[in-house]
Structure 1
Amino acid sequence: MTSLTIAEAAERTGLTAHTLRYYERDGLLLHAVDRAPSGHRRYTDDDLRWIEMVTRLRSTGMPIRDVRRYAALVRDGDGNEAERLALLLAHREVVERQLAEVTSHLRAIDYKIALYENTLDKSA
């Protein structure tokens, strides 16, 4: 099993050590990160997989309170899958709306690019 220092985990996840500490302190992780006898954090592959999920949720705009709620549900174990699903489905709807909006903006940019390319082609 992998056991990484906080610096190694930060490098692997693309987050800062400060962010990793914050995730743990704010209840976004499934459990407290294991500690070496020296007291330094040691991250496992499972920790990194969960951090990746938290990062994805945050990157798609899920509020901290919802990530914290999702982590709490997962920590609680079996029996709350319907609540987990509802939370993720609601977030998925938000992400889909955002994606549609960004796609619309991209189409407008592509339209302008095509206009300029046509103008330049005609003048060449």
Structure 2
Amino acid sequence: MNMKAFSTLAGLSSYTLRYYEKVGLLNNIQRNSSGHRVYTAKDLEWINFVKRLKDTGMALTKIQQYAQLRTLGPGTVLDRQQLLECHKDQLQAHIELQKNHLLALENKISLYKANKVS
């Protein structure tokens, strides 16, 4: 598919796609005889995973590290797994912190509803 179709499906601008390619998040993008980028369903699957990592708060440098390991092939599976497990631990800690913040807000709202504002 061309960049416009891919951009629409990925929910990213063509500028962002070109940036991701520049920083190594989108590698080995094929080009047609006119030199235009041609994306595949596999590219879409990958970019959706990158977006998920980003949405969960993984730093761009870590996503780049993961992408580089992925490019190096099957010999890096354990390194990629370790990187994802570390991120998972950080994400779980962040979720727990957010749950505590939510509980504090709910308690304050309950005080307002009971007219016991402090």
Assess same fold via TM > 0.5: yes
Q: Distance in 2 between matches of 1:83 and 1:58?
A: 19
| Equivalent runs, 1:1-124 vs 2, <5 Å | 3=1, 5-29=2-26, 31-119=27-115
SS at match of 2:75: coil
Of 102-111 and 18-27, more deviation after overlay is shown by 102-111
**Greater relative contact order (CA < 8 Å, ≥ 6 in sequence):** 1
The code of the aligned residue for 1:78 comes to: P
Identity of aligned residues (%): 38
Q: Distance in 1 between matches of 2:22 and 2:28?
A: 8
Aligned residue pairs total 115
| Cα displacement (A) at 1:34 | 1.6
The answer for unaligned runs of 5 or more in structure 2 is none
Misfit runs of 4+, over 2 Å? 112-119
Alpha-carbon RMSD across the aligned residues, in angstroms, is 1.6
* Cα deviation 1:70-105 (Å, max 9, x = unaligned): 112111111222111111111111111111111111
